[in-house]
Amino acid sequence: MRSTLFISLFCLITSISLAQDRGYDQWNTLAMVNMESKFDDMMGMIIKTATPTPVVQALQGKEIEIRGYMIALDVTAKQAHFMFSRYPQNMCFFCGAAGPESAMQVFMAGGKKLEHTTNKVVLKGILNIQKGDPTGLIYTLTDAELIEIIKS
């Protein structure tokens, strides 16, 4: 029992420390969710819900840097609110090719609009985690700033 507790604590501390390092793929940490399938009376069907693990919950309200792809919400070239994915649009959660832990919504700091790009980008912002609502995304990045556009 003690060794299991020690190992769990060590993993949590290591994950949080790694998450703070620039260049670390935050999606690996955000993927640490428990998936459960259950019937939802409101929707009238079986749905999958993702519950973030304690390792992920430790990032709630923290500033993170994350790399991914912009998924436009409308046809305008510049957007202050958009979806963000670990994968390019043809492989993303919204197209059915990945799980809900691989996507988040982003709100840019001060409503600043970011030019849409198909290149991978690095963003920095405050991570907010919601749980228990199968109709919403698990993650939201607020006060986001563009750090880098990674040219292919």
Which pLDDT tens digit goes with each residue over 69-86?
A: 998 888 788 999 999 999
Coil, strand or helix at 21: coil
Domains of the chain: 2-150 (2.40.50)
According to the 3-state scheme, what is the secondary structure of 70-107? Answer: EECCCCCCEECEEEEECCCHHHCHHHCCCCHHHEEEEE
| pLDDT at residue 148, rounded to an integer | 95
**Averaged pLDDT, groups of 10, the chain, 152 residues long:** 44 44 76 88 82 94 96 85 86 64 93 93 96 77 96 80
- Residues 87 and 142: their CA atoms lie apart, in Å, by 20
Is residue 48 within 8 A of residue 37, CB to CB? The reply is: yes
| pLDDT at residue 127, rounded to an integer | 97
Is residue 105 within 8 A of residue 83, CB to CB? The reply is: yes
Coil, strand or helix at 9: helix
Is residue 114 within 8 A of residue 69, CB to CB? The reply is: no
Which pLDDT tens digit goes with each residue over 97-120?
A: 677 888 899 999 999 999 999 999
Q: How many CB atoms lie within 10 A of CB 56?
A: 24
| pLDDT at residue 132, rounded to an integer | 64
